[in-house]
Structure 1
Amino acid sequence: MYKELIVYSSGQPVRVIIRNYTLDDVEGMIDIQKESFPPPFPAELWWNTEQLREHVTRFPEAALCAEAGGKLIGSMTGLLVNDSITGTDHSWDSVTDGGYIRNHDPQGETLYVVDLCVVPAYRKAGIGKWLMQSMYEVVVHHRLRRLLGGGRIPGYHKYASLATAEEYVQRVVAGEWNDPVLSFLLRCGRMPVGVVSHYLEDEESCHFAALMEWRNPFWR
């Protein structure tokens, strides 16, 4: 994949390229993580060279990055999985092989989102939405059935005493509450299909995630 577009950052037009990342981009990919998750975030949870090597070797079509002015400013990664492992009892670690995607199934009909990350300076420029749209294009191009992934619900800890995680998701969908991640995914066209417990070590989400789907409208 390779495409160019114009986004507006702080009111100024910026030319952005969305393309597949390669091994030549390893340093830039790790820099995205460093900038997005600075200390005290544990450095061992950033992408490492071996994980990125697996991404570009096993399923390079779903290894996407956004670039502006020669610098990587965002990325999104996915793998193909069999639907038998995407019920509401899985975790991010189990379905993504801890981020190494060595369990990528070339025969899988579901593109599962491993991660989506944009550096802070461009988070209001629509880069995340463009990366998501580009991943939908991968789904259509490869004639896959759907895109799926677990979305954090970081606003849930404020309401955990008032609602179950399922009720929280329903009320965000209804527009009664707002969640920075879930609301973003809804604006991208993703639809909730379940709630997963113990998905990540994520205190803000009380360790829950909303399982969010986008169905290929051309799939037969």
Structure 2
Amino acid sequence: MHPPVAHHPARDALRLPSRLLIVEDERRLALSLAKGLTAEGYAVDVVHDGLEGLRRAGGSTYDLIVLDVMLPGMNGYRVCSALRAAGDEVPILMLTAKDGEYDEAEGLDTGADDYLTKPFSYVVLVARIRALLRRRGSGPSPVLELGELRVDTAARRVHRGDDEVALTAKEFAVLEQLALRSGEVVSKAEILEHVWDFAYEGDPNIVEVYVSTLRRKLGASLIRTVRGAGYRLEAR
């Protein structure tokens, strides 16, 4: 039985969701990625074996595959080569714990479109996915219209009314998480997981610092604190 495709209300607002397949045998990482990408507005399937990944990719229409190199059953290089040999041009973002020019070259030579070395920043992963989908002409609408707030997730620019608001990369990433789930409560833990590295072990109160900065730049009433639960962006 295939695992269910994850759904999230944000997709309805973004209209056409892109379908992503994650092939990753580190289950905690795979599920964290699926959770985060679902919140971004994508439809996500997860498998943990190279052979199953190849079977699933060949039998379904995906807009992008996140493919680990070190997999049981069949490694990512072979999965990628098999898909390309079959004429499948789906964008492939390869993940690996290895590092070095030879490994990157091997991944790209087998037909991968991009390459990311673990450990990686979630923000960088999402940016790479968006870039590959834009190149393919797919993916959710990059502009979120939230009342007088306009968040362009492709250009990474924010306008409030007619005025552009300058944000740092991390400030934008925090705002983006809240904007993608506008009207919903987003916990501090979820923001940490999505915006900072998976291995982040610093002070979790850093989220409060960034939310405070966003309130100062965008207006104090835009982001509400829900005591004991997290934050909610309220579009007006």
TM-score by length of 2: 0.26
Rg (Cα) greater in structure: 2
TM-score by length of 1: 0.27
Higher helix share: 2
Larger RCO, structure (CA 8 Å, separation 6 or more): 1
